[in-house]
Amino acid sequence: MSGNRELLEATLAKAASEDRAALIAYLPGGFPTVDGGIAAVKAAVAGGADVIEVGLPHSDPVLDGPVIQTADDIALRGGVKIADIMRTVREAHAATGAPILVMTYWNPIDRYGVERFTAELAEAGGAGCILPDLPVQESALWREHAEKHGLATVFVVAPSSKDARLATITAAGSGFVYAASLMGVTGTRESVGQQAQDLVRRTRATTDLPVCVGIGVSTAEHARQVAGFADGVIVGSAFVKRMLDAPDEAAGLAAVRALAGELAEGVRKR
């Protein structure tokens, strides 16, 4: 079975045709439980998220801030496995019809086997992978298998990336480009500023792929600001924080849906 890269591309194109940015929600798989994580994806889509990133929890998440680390710890203590991430993708995609990517560090895929991982992700209806720590120059094996199975390969660019490096990264990627708005780890911040806008401008000069901005976006106002210059707005920690702060799972799901609704409104007011 072929993956859903075309669905991802069509979803981003539809948002652009409506003169708005796409809303991309990140939620860790297995948090607070595997079933709870699937329910959270459904809640985010019901609230207005266009695309979902399911995080594969990792014991050493170098790019993730304290909020996502806390959620990852809960998922790992619950015994989450790659099979549970595949189940999350399968069930959430079947229920929502939304394109679902997996965001993961390279090490778990390497250990699991690239061919096995890509085949299973495609079979589950996944749209692709975001690989924040896989260097482009070491990505040929992954890209070969992703291409074979119809999966997008989303690479991350940072404000520190030089223009020539941006061109190399965007030429190798597919689906969209993930522009990290700030140097450092994920988390919510007071504002998402000029650095991100400059990075989007420089990235667009090298590619026709949509450029989506993440890291630090947490409110409808942030979403509106970022939607003014990016093709997509990526929000993670703010969703996870709502779930962590909720008194119970039902309240957490309601909070995820409500936040998605606020952000969906934000991306439409560019």
Which residues carry out catalysis? 53, 64
Amino acid letter, residue 226? V
Kindly give the interhelix angle for 114-123 and 140-148, rounded to the nearest 10 degrees: 30
Give the separation between CA 230 and CA 199, rounded to whole angstroms. 10
Output b/e per residue, 221-240; b: 16+ Cβ within 10 A.
ebbbbbbebbbbbbbbbbbb
Is 58 strand, coil or helix? coil
- Nearest one of 132, 129, 158 to 142, comparing CA atoms: 129
User: E strand or H helix at 9, and its extent?
Assistant: helix 5-17
- Tokens 């995609």 correspond to what residue? 93
Residue 167 structure tokens: 């061109």
List Cα–Cα distances, 33 to 37, 38, 39, 58, in angstroms. 6, 9, 10, 15
